[in-house]
Amino acid sequence: MEEEVSKKSSMKAQKELFAVASSFILLGFLIVFMGFPLWFGKTIILQTVPVDPFDPFRGQYLSIRYNISTIPEIESSKPGDAIYLVLTPDKDGVYQYARHSPEKPVVQDQGVVIKGEIESSEDGRTTITYGIEQFFFERGAQFPLTNLTVEAKVDSWGRAKVVQLLHNKKPIEYKFREPTLFS
């Protein structure tokens, strides 16, 4: 009887160890999956379009819209469809829309493929999101909101991550205001 209890407790310990190990493996996989674009992605610069940057319910963040967020209308597209855009650098090194495809295209030279999701397609234009439309920053940070570009990295699957904000092609220098009782 004592041997049976020992077997049950041993099996229970093995199950608990398996559950803990599985959790750590899953966590490690998620970290690698989310960090892959930052570690191995190609660095690109994207032009932004000014958007109201603050939301009292979500805290301090910048809502970013890119010039590649709106392209000429894609016939027979619907919201939620995946779309791949080929971007090429202009003379200033800012990546611009060149063409699109519903499947991941092969690109040459300096071209980069970014994957997006169609938000809407109407009135002669298609609006696309890329998962990089928000940039969170420290509370009380102040910086210019005009003439911004974004340095992003795009991996080989077209997933993008924001690296930093640029103002006049230079990393933004944040200024911090002193917090008050109501800020």
pLDDT in tens, 109-162: 889 999 999 999 988 999 999 999 988 777 677 777 778 889 999 999 999 999
> What are the structure tokens assigned to 141, written together?
């940070």
pLDDT of residue 109: 81
pLDDT in tens, 35-48: 777 777 888 777 77
SS (HEC) of 46-82: EEEECCCCEECCCEEEEECEEHHHEEECCCCCCCCCE
pLDDT in tens, 73-101: 988 889 999 999 999 999 999 999 999 99
183 in any annotated domain: no
Give yes or no: residues 3 and 84 share one domain: no
182 in any annotated domain: no
CA-CA-CA-CA torsion sign (46, 165, 43, 126): negative
Give yes or no: residues 63 and 117 share one domain: yes
pLDDT of residue 81: 95
Give yes or no: residues 36 and 124 share one domain: no
State the number of CA atoms in the 13 A half-sphere of 82 facing the CB.
11
Report the predicted TM-score, pTM, of the whole model to 2 decimal places: 0.69
Domain holding 56, by residue range, is: 41-176
Distance, CA of 142 to CA of 145 (rounded, Å) = 9
Give yes or no: residues 10 and 78 share one domain: no
Q: How many domains does the chain have?
A: 2
20 in any annotated domain: yes
Give yes or no: residues 58 and 148 share one domain: yes
